[in-house]
Structures are given as structure tokens and as C-alpha cells.
């Protein structure tokens, strides 16, 4: 893979605490991975101190805006849990990015830019949610 132009790739970082050391360590890992992929000077988006239960975060919102503006072609994160903890929300976010032609890479996961992987993960999440729902009804 050739070197990507500055500004066409992004890294996204998130930790739920305001631990600067944790976010710095995450950034170092993601930048090393990006460099190994031939990606130089990626734009950094970070949400330090935000949980992943929803997608309403300033750094993620800026990343989303830049994706829609056509400024970003590749997004790299440590894992899908950096985007969010709710797999259905993450799947929707990834699908929207994919429709914009964005490739999403995770260090600790597979390349989710392929549609079959997204569908598999969403199906598993739906199965788990339905199972939890059935169990809660059984207890009532």
C-alpha cells in the first residue's frame, strides 16, 4: 500500500476516563499501526473522558462531519469499542461511513469495510439482544 496523503486518513481515540496516559498510549499504538499500513500524518480525533454508550461526542462528531465533507478516506481506531459500546449503533455508523467510501480499520479486530462482516456482527448483536429480552420476559 502506498503512502496516503495528509488529511485523507484519520485516527479516532476514546477512553471513558480523563486519563491522559491511557489516551496517549492508545494514540501511540494507533499511529504505529497507521505507519505500518503506509499511512502518514493522519488527522487525530479524540474523546477523552467520554463513555461509548452513545455516539454523541465532540471528537466523533467532528470526524463524522469531515467524512461527510469528503476529507477522510480511512479511519483507524484501536477497536470497534472506541467508536461505541452498542454494536448496533457502531454498525450503523460504520455502514454510513462505508456509503461515503470510507475504509475502517481496527488494530484489535478485523477490517470491517466488508459488508458481510458488518452483517455478521449485527446479526450476532441482535441475537444477543433478543436472548436478553426473552430472559427478562421469562422472569416476569
60 within domain boundaries: yes
1 within domain boundaries: no
4 within domain boundaries: no
For 93, phi and psi rounded to 5 degrees?
Answer: -60, -45
What global pTM score does this model have? 0.73
2 within domain boundaries: no
Buried b / exposed e along 117-133 (16+ C-beta atoms within 10 A): ebeebbeebeeeeeeee
What does the mean pLDDT of the chain come to? 85
Domain count, the chain: 1
Domain carrying residue 115: 9-139
Work out the pLDDT band at 134, boundaries 50, 70, 90.
confident
Q: What is the CATH number of the domain that holds 129?
A: 3.40.50.1390
40 within domain boundaries: yes
CA nearest 4: which of 38, 29, 30, 32? 38
Amino acid at each position: 500500500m502506498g503512502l496516503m496523503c495528509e488529511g485523507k486518513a484519520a485516527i479516532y481515540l476514546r477512553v471513558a476516563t480523563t486519563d491522559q496516559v491511557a489516551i496517549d498510549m492508545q494514540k501511540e499504538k494507533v499511529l504505529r499501526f497507521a505507519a505500518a499500513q503506509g499511512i502518514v500524518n493522519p488527522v487525530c480525533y479524540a474523546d477523552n473522558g467520554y463513555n461509548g454508550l452513545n455516539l454523541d461526542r465532540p471528537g466523533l462528531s467532528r470526524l463524522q462531519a469531515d467524512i461527510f465533507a469528503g476529507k477522510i478516506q480511512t479511519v483507524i481506531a484501536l477497536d470497534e469499542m472506541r467508536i461505541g459500546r452498542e454494536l448496533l449503533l457502531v454498525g450503523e455508523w460504520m455502514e454510513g461511513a462505508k456509503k461515503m467510501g470510507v475504509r475502517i480499520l481496527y488494530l484489535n479486530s478485523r477490517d470491517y469495510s466488508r459488508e458481510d462482516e458488518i452483517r455478521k456482527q449485527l446479526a450476532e448483536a441482535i441475537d444477543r439482544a433478543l436472548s436478553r429480552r426473552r430472559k427478562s420476559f421469562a422472569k416476569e
